[in-house]
């Protein structure tokens, strides 16, 4: 069973879509192994988005991600990384397929409701930023 990290971002939190988003993942057969609500600070944002430091959109990204609470969760399932990214839809909701989380709940490419790991390496690194081994129930 593959694991991936998902973040429900501040825009989706503020719009009260937590339950809707959880339901979609569970209905698609993914298992929730860990979950927590937290406030991302600049240090955590810089660790999570290390590959984006120095890019023109970095400051806006950090400002957005630290603007309110988020939910971090570890999901598991067959091909979880690819499946979650398909369920989430393309980054820009205008380009996302009907029924995807971003088509349903995102307002723009930069305010796009959810984050998901893009590779097994990213998943392992990102999961370790948010959860200790004892917080993951697999």
- DSSP label of 91: S
85 labeled part of a ligand binding site:
yes
Q: Which of 16, 17, 52, 115 is catalytic?
A: 115
92 labeled part of a ligand binding site:
no
Contacts of the segment 106-112: beta carbons below 8 A, 24+ positions apart = 106/11, 106/12, 107/11, 110/57, 110/60, 110/61, 110/64, 111/9, 111/11, 111/64, 112/9, 112/11
- Active site annotation includes 115: yes
102 labeled part of a ligand binding site:
yes
CB 114 within 8 A of CB 21: yes
9 labeled part of a ligand binding site:
yes
91 labeled part of a ligand binding site:
yes
Question: Known catalytic residues?
Answer: 115
Residues annotated within the binding site are: 9, 57, 85, 91, 102, 112
Annotated binding site for ATP: 9, 57, 85, 91, 102, 112
């Amino acid at each position: 069973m593959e694991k991936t990290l998902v973040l429900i971002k501040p825009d989706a939190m503020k719009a009260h879509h937590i339950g809707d988003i959880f339901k979609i993942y569970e209905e698609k057969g993914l298992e929730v192994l860990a979950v927590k609500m937290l406030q991302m600070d600049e240090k955590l944002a810089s660790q999570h988005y290390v590959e984006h430091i120095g890019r023109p959109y970095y400051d806006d990204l950090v400002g957005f991600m630290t603007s309110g609470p988020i939910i971090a969760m570890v999901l598991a399932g067959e091909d979880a990384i690819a499946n979650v990214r398909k369920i989430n839809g393309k980054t820009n909701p205008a380009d996302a397929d009907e029924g995807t989380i971003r088509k349903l709940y995102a307002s723009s490419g930069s305010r796009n409701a959810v984050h998901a790991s893009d590779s097994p390496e990213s998943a392992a690194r990102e999961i370790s930023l948010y959860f200790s081994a004892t917080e993951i129930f697999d």
